[in-house]
Amino acid sequence: MDWNCTLTEERLSDYLEGSLLPGEAAAFSAHASGCVQCTQLVAQVKMLVSRMQQAPPVEEPRHLAGRILDATLGPREREHSGSGMFAWLPSIWQPRFAMGLVTVAASILIIFHASATAGGKTALNPVNMFRAANRQVHLAYAHGAKFVNGLRVVYEIQSRLTSQPETMSEPISEPARAPNAEPRPGQPAQPPASEQRQKSQSIPHSGRRHTHGASELAALSIISREDLTNGAIRSIL
Amino acid sequence: MRRHTRRVYNLCYRFTGNAASSEDLSQEVFLRIYRTLPSYRPEQGAFPTWLTSVTRNLLVDHYRRTRRDRLTDSIEDAMPQLEEKHSPARTPDRLAQASELSAQLQRGLARLSPELREAVILRDLQGLDYAEVQKVLQVPEGTVKSRINRGRIELARVLEEMGLRPA
């Protein structure tokens, strides 16, 4: 095949991309290897194509995508409207953060109000705040201690009153037994408990008297217990 | 979104050589895409090819609109290096990002005719195959191949004349 410089130029891209027929490719190579100009041109274009295809893309401006979205979809709520140190500001207005901030602010306000009711401007002094808080803690401790002591007194009284009727019923039953207490001559000094129980059943008057005295004492003890308990609670409160 | 934005911006920047114009043109491209999206038919071609076609058409319009400005402002064509250095949109950061090869290519591309320039850009810088370039340019395959081939050779010679070798 008769190959020349014009053909080399015309088919240069085909040669570089390997789309020449085998005969054409051989004729191209034969001519290019013998022609200085064509050799140089082939080398230059080959290098140029290679470098262009490997060239990195140009970085587009960062704001371009946002600008395009603004132009197509309309102005948006910018996620990063602020720049630098103020970029976090919009996130505060999200409901969860706003609710948290309001709660914290209310708590701080209550604490300030509670600690600074009597103080005026000086109450905002950290030292005074510390003293007020310290005083509140001590007062709370004193109230607690007083309450515990009061409870202890009440339980002590209650426990004594619950145990008292049993101990009091025994001396009260003694006079009822007194007429029969003295042993008659010829009788044993202390009959067995079973006999006494039988006697008490056979003598109804003495048993009724004993029951009457015990119920009175029990009523008195209930009244006194209630009074004492109420008094103790009142003293605590 | 970012991939498409970069693709469009690169095509515009390689064709116009101006960052500010490329931004405006990119925005215009997406506005047109947004308005004509219902008319897009996937069976007619892939979305990137359609996007490139819209971009190319806008670039042709832009080239025609600004032809008179370019003819009167001959210094811009004669000394493209000055345009690179004094364009307000070309901040030092952007210049630092652009590699030396990219700058050389840009200067060389600016010397090509629009037909050859767009063919080379689409094939070698945007990576389209011949069929895609043919769809975008709406010209026969033989014309596409011819333009790409002539564009490459002319660009190599221009770079040689400018004393810039791609190697």
Q: In which band, very low, low, confident or very high, does the pLDDT at A183 lie, cut at 50, 70 and 90? A: very low
Q: In which band, very low, low, confident or very high, does the pLDDT at A113 lie, cut at 50, 70 and 90? A: confident
Q: In which band, very low, low, confident or very high, does the pLDDT at B120 lie, cut at 50, 70 and 90? A: very high
pLDDT of A92 above 90: no
Cβ contacts below 8 Å, chain A against chain B, sum to: 95
Candidate from A10, A49, A58 with C-beta closest to B9: A58
Chain B residues whose CB is inside 8 A of the A41 CB are 153, 156
Best mean pLDDT range from A144-148, A157-161, B97-101:
A144-148
Q: Do B145 and A14 touch (CB under 8 A)?
A: yes
Residue in A41, A64, A70, A76 to test binding to B, most B beta-carbons within 10 Å: A64
Task: Report yes or no: B99 at the A interface, CB cutoff 8 Å.
Answer: yes
Q: In which band, very low, low, confident or very high, does the pLDDT at A230 lie, cut at 50, 70 and 90? A: low
pLDDT the model gives residue A181: 44
Tell me the pLDDT of chain A averaged across its residues. 73
User: CA-to-CA distance for A14 and B161, rounded, in angstroms?
Assistant: 25
Token pair listed for B42: 């996937």
pLDDT the model gives residue A143: 95
Candidate from B30, B145, B166 with C-beta closest to A48: B166
pLDDT of A191 above 90: no
pLDDT the model gives residue A231: 61
- A186 or B163, which is more confident: B163
pLDDT tens-digit series, residues A93-103:
677 788 888 89
Rounded to two decimals, the ipTM of the complex is 0.75
Is CATH 1.10.3720.10 the right assignment for the domain spanning B2-161? no
User: CA-to-CA distance for A139 and A133, rounded, in angstroms?
Assistant: 10
pLDDT the model gives residue B115: 93
pLDDT of A67 above 60: yes
pLDDT tens-digit series, residues B11-57:
898 888 888 889 899 999 998 888 888 888 888 788 888 889 889 98
* Cα A71 from chain centre: 46
Q: Compute the average pLDDT of residues A217-230.
A: 56
Token pair listed for A174: 């003694």
Candidate from B13, B156, B166 with C-beta closest to A58: B13
Following DSSP, what letter does each residue of B3-59 receive, concatenated?
HHHHHHHHHHHHHH--HHHHHHHHHHHHHHHHHHGGG--GGG--HHHHHHHHHHHHH
Following DSSP, what letter does each residue of A43-85 receive, concatenated?
HHHHHHHHHHHHPPPPPPPTTHHHHHHHHHH-----TT-S-GG
Residue in B153, B158, B162 to test binding to A, most A beta-carbons within 10 Å: B153
Residue in A19, A28, A52, A53 to test binding to B, most B beta-carbons within 10 Å: A52
Residue extents of the structural domains in chain B:
2-161
Q: Do B152 and A65 touch (CB under 8 A)?
A: no
Task: Report yes or no: B97 at the A interface, CB cutoff 8 Å.
Answer: yes
Task: Report yes or no: B37 at the A interface, CB cutoff 8 Å.
Answer: no
Tell me the pLDDT of chain B averaged across its residues. 80
Q: Compute the average pLDDT of residues B80-103.
A: 52
Q: In which band, very low, low, confident or very high, does the pLDDT at A193 lie, cut at 50, 70 and 90? A: very low
pLDDT the model gives residue B76: 46
Q: Do B153 and A52 touch (CB under 8 A)?
A: no
Are A158 and A233 spatial neighbours (Cβ–Cβ below 8 Å)? Answer: no
Long-range contacts (CB closer than 8 Å, 24 or more residues apart) made by A209-215: A209/A176, A210/A172, A210/A173, A210/A176, A213/A172, A213/A173, A213/A176, A214/A165, A214/A169, A214/A172, A214/A173
Within a 10 A sphere around the Cβ of B166, how many other Cβ atoms? 21
User: CA-to-CA distance for A17 and A12, rounded, in angstroms?
Assistant: 9
Nearest CA-CA distance, residue A89 and chain B, Å = 26
User: CA-to-CA distance for A24 and A8, rounded, in angstroms?
Assistant: 10
Task: Give me the residue label for tokens 């025609």.
Answer: B64
- B102 or A7, which is more confident: A7
pLDDT of A201 above 50: no
Q: In which band, very low, low, confident or very high, does the pLDDT at B84 lie, cut at 50, 70 and 90? A: very low
User: CA-to-CA distance for B56 and B48, rounded, in angstroms?
Assistant: 12
pLDDT tens-digit series, residues A15-60:
999 999 999 999 999 998 889 999 999 999 999 999 888 888 888 8
Which whole-number Å values give the CA distances from A140 to A116, A128, B126, in the listed order? 18, 18, 79
pLDDT the model gives residue A56: 84
Residue in B15, B27, B100 to test binding to A, most A beta-carbons within 10 Å: B27
pLDDT tens-digit series, residues B130-165:
999 998 999 999 999 999 999 999 999 999 888 766
Q: Which of the 8 DSSP states describes residue A17?
A: T
Helix/strand/coil for A206: helix
- A67 or A206, which is more confident: A67
Q: Compute the average pLDDT of residues A81-85.
A: 55
Task: Report yes or no: B34 at the A interface, CB cutoff 8 Å.
Answer: yes
Q: Do B23 and A13 touch (CB under 8 A)?
A: no
Are A53 and A25 spatial neighbours (Cβ–Cβ below 8 Å)? Answer: no
